[in-house]
Structures are given as structure tokens and as C-alpha cells.
């Protein structure tokens, strides 16, 4: 038996990277999976590979973030689990971030999870049925690099929202947790390193050599942990924001 047998799972931002890994892991563990993304070709390819159902959506639009839940419920009668995995990581410091860049980060990294959670928790509460939510956040929410100012601002907000919503709905038995992931090997990170940091083809190898465990974070390992948090095997845990990284926050040499 799988960890998510008979569960209906929505993964927002599930067409690539960590989100796609979660889609694959949830399908493997027996869930009926719906996922969203902006690019139809990429989404259709993952749907064909996994048997999950793809919904094209631009989560920067709060109506589409809410509608992702509505459409999943309409298709399957309910929603048991929500994962907010979409993320914008474009660079900006305190001094050079424009209002437009700041708003873009808030739209994807904070507002979209808020309104998707609003719709998902409303469905769970209306049915008087337990449910789980996992928000993919970042260790940079603790402070982060100078060139990630709007990203950190939005993701730190998601940390607070995760705990606030978990507290508000604990007696509804809706468990809401977050995962602060560190530097992870994804297609998006490859594009970011090349676009913003002048990285060459060997950037992964060079980065891995500098890490304590000799590798960057791996999508499949993160996905397995998310599936555990979504499942009943994670017990009563709620309101936890877990640092999933090989850097020890607060540790000094």
C-alpha cells in the first residue's frame, strides 16, 4: 500500500523542478494527482508520463490560484492534500528591486499560496474532513543572500502564514506544514545560475564539491519527505516549518 492511497492531491507549480518530483512521488504512493503549471507542453508531457491530470494556470492571478482548487474538486469530488511548490527566484537587492519585481515575488511566492490554501481549507472544513497542506519555502527565509531581497520578503511571509493557518485550523484537523529547502539541483536553478551568475556547464560539480554532503539537494529526496508530511504517517505534526538543508542555521565557525 502507498502512503497516499485514495488521496486526492493538488500540486501547484508541479510541472517542473521540485513540484514535478512531488507529482511523481505522490502518483507512486497511490494518490490521484492534479498539478498546475504555466507551460502547456511541459505539463502535458509530465501528465502523459505519470497519469496525473494537468491544469494550465498562471498562479500570479489569485483567481486562478483559487480556481486550481475548484477545478480539482470538481473533477474528483474533494481535495485531501495541497502542495504549494511554485516559486519565483529572480534576483533583486534592497537597493535595486523595482516595485514591479517586488510585486511579482509577492504574487507567486505568497499571494498564490494564500488563496490556494483559502480554497483548499474551505473545502476540507465544509466536508468536515481532515486534510494536509505542505508549503515549499526556503532556508533563505531566515535572512538569505543580499541579491534575494524580494524573494526573502515574500517567502518569510509564507513562513508566518503557514504557522498562522495551522493554528487557526488545528481543530478542523487540517495539518499545515512548511519545508525550508536549501540549494537544490533543478532545471530552474540551472537556468538561474547561467542567467544571473555566469555559470558554466560545470557549475553543478563545482557547487557539489563545496557542500558538506558532497551534493546539492536532490528533488527525489525532497519529494519523498513532502509525501511523508502529506500522509497520515506524519501523525499529528502541524505548524512546523522544517529546515531541509545541509547548512545548519545559526551555526558558526
Catalytic residues, which ones? 151
Phi, psi of 81 (to 5 degrees): -140, 140
> What is d(CA 99, CA 117) in angstroms, rounded to the nearest whole number?
25
What crossing angle do the helices spanning 17-28 and 40-50 adopt, rounded to 10°? Answer: 20
8 Å CB contact between 46 and 35: yes
8 Å CB contact between 8 and 75: no
Phi, psi of 11 (to 5 degrees): -110, 105
> What is d(CA 141, CA 99) in angstroms, rounded to the nearest whole number?
20
> What is d(CA 23, CA 208) in angstroms, rounded to the nearest whole number?
25
Amino acid at each position: 500500500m502507498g502512503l497516499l492511497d485514495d488521496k486526492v492531491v493538488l500540486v501547484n507549480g508541479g510541472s517542473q523542478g521540485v513540484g514535478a518530483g512531488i507529482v511523481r512521488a505522490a502518483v507512486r504512493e497511490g494518490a490521484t494527482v492534479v498539478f498546475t503549471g504555466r507551460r502547456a507542453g511541459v505539463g502535458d508531457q509530465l501528465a502523459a508520463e505519470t497519469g496525473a491530470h494537468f491544469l494550465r494556470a498562471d498562479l500570479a492571478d489569485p483567481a486562478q490560484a483559487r480556481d486550481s482548487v475548484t477545478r480539482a474538486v470538481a473533477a474528483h469530488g474533494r481535495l485531501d492534500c495541497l502542495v504549494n511548490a511554485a516559486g519565483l527566484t529572480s534576483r533583486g537587492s534592497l537597493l535595486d528591486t523595482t516595485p514591479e519585481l517586488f510585486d511579482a515575488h509577492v504574487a507567486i511566492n505568497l499571494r498564490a499560496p494564500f488563496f490556494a490554501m483559502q480554497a483548499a481549507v474551505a473545502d476540507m472544513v465544509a466536508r468536515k474532513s481532515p486534510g494536509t497542506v505542505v508549503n515549499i519555502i526556503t532556508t533563505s527565509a531566515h535572512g538569505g543572500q543580499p541579491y534575494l531581497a524580494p524573494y526573502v520578503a515574500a517567502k518569510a511571509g509564507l513562513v508566518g502564514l503557514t504557522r498562522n493557518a495551522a493554528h487557526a485550523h488545528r481543530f478542523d484537523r487540517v495539518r499545515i506544514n512548511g519545508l525550508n529547502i536549501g540549494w537544490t539541483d533543478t532545471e530552474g536553478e540551472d537556468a538561474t545560475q547561467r542567467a544571473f551568475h555566469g555559470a558554466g556547464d560545470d557549475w553543478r560539480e563545482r557547487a557539489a564539491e563545496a557542500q558538506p554532503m558532497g551534493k546539492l539537494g536532490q528533488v527525489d529526496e525532497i519529494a519523498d519527505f513532502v509525501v511523508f508530511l502529506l500522509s497520515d504517517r506524519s501523525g499529528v505534526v502541524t505548524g512546523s516549518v522544517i529546515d531541509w538543508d545541509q547548512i545548519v542555521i545559526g551555526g558558526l565557525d
